[in-house]
């Protein structure tokens, strides 16, 4: 693939020094290559977005909404190709890839509706002082850089791209170098819809390309989803420009299971929270807190459920869990298996890489994990679950909150009053009660503590790409 960058309405060849290999993780082999964008091409993309901004931000809300609905429709028309690409490049099972696509479609549809409501949000502000009138205007923040991760491509980019376009911003999107292909669909759709040139630009590359974008003085805002280590670099770049950022970073989330919970349902929720996308989720509930009265019943059933998960190549097998998406992630997870052995952790399931081609690991459960273990405190980003027991509700809340992260949590209890009370006490951005991790576009996404800054989805996602202007007039 040579024309892998979409700049100013044209597909262009990469001129950077990096060659990006795109891999099939189930085979551990590359199936495509592309050249990264150069720093000059990043400059060109930002300039194109800047040139397109005046006209785009002055389009009517209904025009922008029509484009967003067009993105949703076009994604649906490309369904099989996009689902297959997710399976091949990410290693996602088919049902996960289909949910990802449906999520992206729903996001564009939702923000089309939000765009249509924008005119009603510009309103007169009542003043206590006589002789003056005031009104508010919600305006696009400007040119935004969007840097998205490899674990949920297409979805994370939709969460950023749709509200940015709805607000009237123009965009430079940088996909992950691990999964650069699927975001090409957005450029193809922009062509098909006749989106004005420069409103959407896509540049692919590795760290050099990401740094060129995050450091660029032509941006008005940057939205980043990824690791805390890179997020801190992005924040330093933003601070040099005094530029707003949205950061969606890591997590080490807890799932709290009380003894009144139905065991079979609890096992279902626990397994989904650690095995979905092979555990490669910032929201993975990788810390299991189980109450004493249910632990001896639940843990053996959980052990069996994890051992019975079908792990394999989603393109050739019926699977519950696919491979890890990259060799680097496979090596990282394997290093935590080694750490667990060094720490002497009790392993009830898994704890090893699978002896087959590709980047597969076993769904893993460690129990009675000390609070100072690296596996209890650090984000692993793989299907590795650590369990501890608790006695009281207060203890469960304290241990769940004892983390430098604060993204999500799950509470499992038949006592709904208690479940709601615990949910309110947890220091996180999103809590599920008696549920798998169902994410709806109308709700917010983001965390507290080290899990990031700002919120995506819902009306909060749109406001992240808007600035507020007040106009005050003297009536005298």
Residues classed as catalytic: 248, 282
CA separation, residue 204 to residues 8, 181, 467 (Å): 15, 9, 28
What is the C-alpha separation between 6 and 201, in angstroms, rounded? 5
202 SS3 class: strand
In which residue are the tokens 């989603």 written? 314
* Cβ neighbours of 214 (radius 10 Å): 23
Residue among 229, 231, 172 nearest 204 (CA): 172
CA torsion 113-169-59-139 (nearest 10°) is 80
CA separation, residue 432 to residues 78, 223, 301, 413 (Å): 32, 25, 22, 11
Residue 232: CB partners within 8 Å, gap ≥ 6? none
- From the DSSP assignment, how many helices (H) and strands (E) are in the chain? 16, 22
For residue 449, the 8-state DSSP code is: E
> DSSP string of 370-438?
-TTSHHHHS---SSEEEEEEESSHHHHHHHHH-SSEESEEEEE-S-HHHHHHHHHHS-SSEEEESS---
| DSSP H or E stretch at residue 349 | strand 346-349
For residue 59, the 8-state DSSP code is: S
CA separation, residue 200 to residues 49, 64, 228, 234 (Å): 7, 13, 27, 21
- Per the CB < 8 A criterion, the answer to whether 199 and 56 are in contact is yes
Residue among 474, 476, 475, 471 nearest 124 (CA): 471
């Amino acid at each position: 693939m040579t024309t892998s960058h979409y700049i100013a309405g044209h597909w262009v060849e990469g001129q950077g020094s990096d060659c990006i290999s795109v891999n099939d993780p189930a085979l551990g082999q590359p199936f495509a290559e592309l050249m990264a964008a150069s720093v000059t091409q990043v400059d060109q993309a930002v300039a194109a977005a800047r040139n397109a901004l005046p006209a785009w931000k002055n389009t009517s809300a209904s025009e922008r909404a029509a484009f967003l609905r067009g993105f949703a429709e076009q994604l649906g028309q490309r369904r099989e190709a996009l689902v297959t690409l997710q399976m091949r490049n990410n290693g996602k099972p088919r049902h996960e890839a289909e949910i990802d696509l449906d999520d992206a479609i729903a996001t564009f549809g939702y923000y089309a509706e939000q765009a249509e409501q924008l005119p009603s949000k510009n309103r007169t502000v009542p003043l206590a002082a006589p002789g003056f009138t005031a009104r508010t205007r919600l305006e696009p923040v400007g040119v935004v850089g969007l840097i998205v991760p490899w674990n949920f491509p297409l979805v994370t980019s939709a969460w950023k791209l749709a509200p940015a376009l709805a607000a009237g911003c123009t965009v430079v999107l940088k996909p992950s170098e691990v999964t650069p292909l699927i975001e090409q669909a957005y450029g193809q759709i922009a062509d098909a819809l006749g989106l004005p040139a420069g409103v959407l630009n896509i540049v692919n590359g590795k760290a050099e390309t990401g740094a060129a974008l995050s450091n660029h003085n032509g941006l008005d805002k940057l939205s980043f989803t990824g690791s805390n280590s890179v997020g801190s670099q992005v924040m330093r770049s933003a601070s040099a420009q005094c530029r707003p950022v949205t950061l969606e970073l890591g997590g080490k989330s807890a799932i709290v299971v009380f003894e009144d919970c139905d065991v079979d349902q609890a096992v279902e929720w626990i397994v989904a929270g650690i095995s979905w996308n092979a555990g490669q989720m910032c929201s993975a509930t990788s810390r299991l807190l189980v109450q004493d009265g249910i632990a001896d019943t639940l843990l053996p059933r959980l052990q069996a459920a994890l051992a019975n998960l079908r792990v394999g190549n989603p393109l050739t097998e019926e699977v519950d869990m696919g491979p890890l998406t990259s060799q680097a992630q496979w090596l990282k997870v394997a290093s935590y298996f080694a750490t667990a052995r060094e720490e002497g952790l009790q392993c009830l399931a898994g704890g090893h890489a699978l002896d087959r081609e590709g980047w597969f690991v076993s769904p893993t459960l460690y129990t009675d994990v000390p609070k100072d273990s690296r596996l209890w405190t650090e984000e692993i980003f793989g299907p590795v679950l650590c369990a501890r027991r608790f006695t009281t509700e207060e203890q469960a809340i304290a241990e769940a909150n004892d983390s430098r992260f604060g993204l999500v949590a799950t509470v499992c209890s038949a006592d709904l009053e208690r479940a709601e009370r615990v949910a309110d006490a947890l220091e996180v951005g999103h809590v599920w009660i008696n549920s798998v991790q169902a994410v709806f576009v109308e709700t917010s996404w983001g965390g507290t503590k080290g899990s990031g800054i700002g919120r995506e989805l819902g009306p909060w996602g749109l406001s992240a790409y808007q600035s507020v202007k007040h106009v005050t007039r003297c009536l005298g």
